[in-house]
Amino acid sequence: MKSFEDLKVNKPQLKALNDMGIHTPTPIQEKSIPAVNSGNDMVGLAQTGTGKTLAYLLPVLKSLTFSDQIHPRILIIVPTRELVAQVVSVAKELTTYQNVRIAGVYGGVNINQQKEMVSQGLDILVATPGRLFDLAVSGVLRLASVQKLVLDEVDEMLFIGFRPQLMNILDILPKKRQSIMFSATITDEVDELIQSFFKSPKKIEIVPVGTPLEKITQKGIAVPNYKTKINYLKHLLRQDGLDKVLVFTKNKKIADRLYEELSETFIDELELIHSNKSQNYRFKAIEKFQDGSVRILIATDIVSRGMDILGVSHVINFDAPKYPEQYIHRIGRTGRARNSGEAIFLFVPGEEEAVLEIEILMQTEIPLEKLSKEVEISKELMPEEQDHSSEKEISIKQKVKEKPGEAFHQKSEKNKKINLGGSYKREIKKKYKKPKTRPPKTKGKK
């Protein structure tokens, strides 16, 4: 196994790494650092929690010599405010023994303060696409000096709707630059971006896309309804060993509702984070969860990507994610830094297809467990779970229409749908290019 010295990391960074207690490179770092040092474009495929931040920061810092110019030479674009703060923090730690100006910008805060900060001069700028584009359009920030571009968690940027801003930024960047990308998945959009803006990039893949981390034990529990999910979750949280638990919901409404439900029992152990919360609130909630002040954090998918929260013992998927890739990113919050972790998936009737999509992506089954007899099975249904079909008897008054002519029949014939076997199977085949059937059971599993 190579050391950071073998990878020709600069002495100031070696000293900083020693202060940080980091002595051995991870596989993605071992492969990426020489590739970035070569000066060629690079695309790195690795799951969250594998050390991607150091994999690009160490080599770009090596090439950064002292300068007093105003506009940044290194541009790092990430999807969320939390990830901006994290990358800036790590970069500042790595440059403890080096004179480097680093700043981060993101939306949700006063842009005028960020304009003033940028105008004072920077070497490295870490930004979300939306705020970066706003600053570039304002004229305060100029990108003509950018020598190295890093796109971190690019699949998430595209997923949450930053494609227009990202494409505009890439268009105005200098053509002569080194482009570095890290992503956990390669979708059609990501591949299109690589083809359009990267020059013969070296591709590095540590594990096959969709492969779950080996240190994470997974299990799924089928529950009949939302209220039973609540009962099971409370039962789980009373067990020993659930020391730092991330609970993911599919949206803000359910996150708020779940927080109220759990507050009755776990109020002093609980925090909540989603995009409607202020930036200061979100940072404080993560800080309290990180330092152990609270042991349960309810979150939407804004924290499933890139956030380096250490010591998460359990990830509970209270809802199925919208896309199967998000499941990989969620469970990647545990099993980090050589620690083991457990991921628990609670799913209700109607979410079986989501489970199947995830299993197809991972090419492995999620072992199923029966609901504990100690958990009360609720018969109460939430409004969204109730059958309202009997209430939908609506009388529709139709006007007398003239007999449709020939054009009507031609249009109807033209618009007839052809049965292609169900949209779900077609989408799976198109998106993942993998078998539509459930993967075979792994030998030895019950």
pLDDT digits (tens, 9 = 90+) for 41-72: 999 987 766 788 999 999 999 988 888 889 99
Query: Rounded to 5 degrees, what angle do the CA atoms 115, 120, 124 make?
Result: 85
The predicted pLDDT at position 436 comes to 47
The predicted pLDDT at position 224 comes to 94
SS3 343: strand
Confidence of residue 419 (pLDDT cuts 50, 70, 90): very low
The average confidence (pLDDT) of the chain is: 84
Is the per-residue pLDDT at 412 higher than 70? no
The predicted pLDDT at position 37 comes to 94
Tell me the torsion sign for CA atoms 182, 185, 191, 193.
Answer: negative
Q: Give the CA count within 13 Å in the CB-facing half-sphere of 70.
A: 12
Two tokens, residue 126: 């870490």
The fraction of the chain above a pLDDT of 90, given in percent, is: 56
> Between β-strands 102-105 and 124-127, what pairing exists: parallel, antiparallel or unpaired?
parallel
Q: Work out the end-to-end distance of the chain between its first and last CA atoms, rounded to an integer number of angstroms.
A: 37
The predicted pLDDT at position 263 comes to 93
Is the per-residue pLDDT at 132 higher than 90? yes
| Least confident among 67-81, 104-118, 326-340, 423-437 | 423-437
Smallest CA-to-CA distance from 299 within 257, 265, 251 is with 251
The predicted pLDDT at position 417 comes to 44
The predicted pLDDT at position 395 comes to 43
Mean local confidence (pLDDT), 226-236: 94
Smallest CA-to-CA distance from 212 within 45, 362, 317 is with 362
Confidence of residue 446 (pLDDT cuts 50, 70, 90): very low
Confidence of residue 421 (pLDDT cuts 50, 70, 90): very low
| Least confident among 91-105, 107-121, 201-215, 360-374 | 201-215
Confidence of residue 396 (pLDDT cuts 50, 70, 90): very low
Mean local confidence (pLDDT), 108-134: 94
The fraction of the chain above a pLDDT of 70, given in percent, is: 82
Residue 78, Cβ neighbours under 10 Å: how many?
A: 29
> Between β-strands 202-205 and 42-45, what pairing exists: parallel, antiparallel or unpaired?
parallel
**Range with top average pLDDT, 323-332, 367-376, 400-409:** 367-376
* Domain ranges for the chain: 11-205, 216-379
Let me know if the fold of 11-205 is the same as that of 216-379: yes
| Least confident among 139-143, 187-191, 259-263, 382-386 | 382-386
**Range with top average pLDDT, 66-70, 258-262, 335-339:** 258-262
Q: Which is higher by pLDDT, 103 or 393?
A: 103
Mean local confidence (pLDDT), 9-35: 93
Is the per-residue pLDDT at 359 higher than 80? yes
Residue 207, Cβ neighbours under 10 Å: how many?
A: 16
The predicted pLDDT at position 103 comes to 96
The predicted pLDDT at position 122 comes to 94
Torsion of CA 308, 311, 315, 434, to 10 degrees: 60
Mean local confidence (pLDDT), 261-289: 88
Confidence of residue 308 (pLDDT cuts 50, 70, 90): low
Choose the CATH number for 216-379 among 3.90.1150.10, 3.40.30.10, 3.40.50.300, 3.10.105.10.
3.40.50.300
The predicted pLDDT at position 38 comes to 94
Is the per-residue pLDDT at 255 higher than 90? yes
Mean local confidence (pLDDT), 199-222: 81
Confidence of residue 434 (pLDDT cuts 50, 70, 90): very low
Is the per-residue pLDDT at 213 higher than 70? no
Say how far apart CA 94 and CA 88 lie, in whole Å. 10
Which one-letter DSSP state was computed for residue 73? S
Superfamily holding 11-205: P-loop containing nucleotide triphosphate hydrolases (3.40.50.300)
Q: 287: buried, middle or exposed (CB in 10 Å: 19+, 13-18, 0-12)? A: exposed
Q: What is the pTM of this model?
A: 0.68
Say how far apart CA 384 and CA 348 lie, in whole Å. 13
Is the per-residue pLDDT at 185 higher than 80? no
Mean local confidence (pLDDT), 158-168: 87
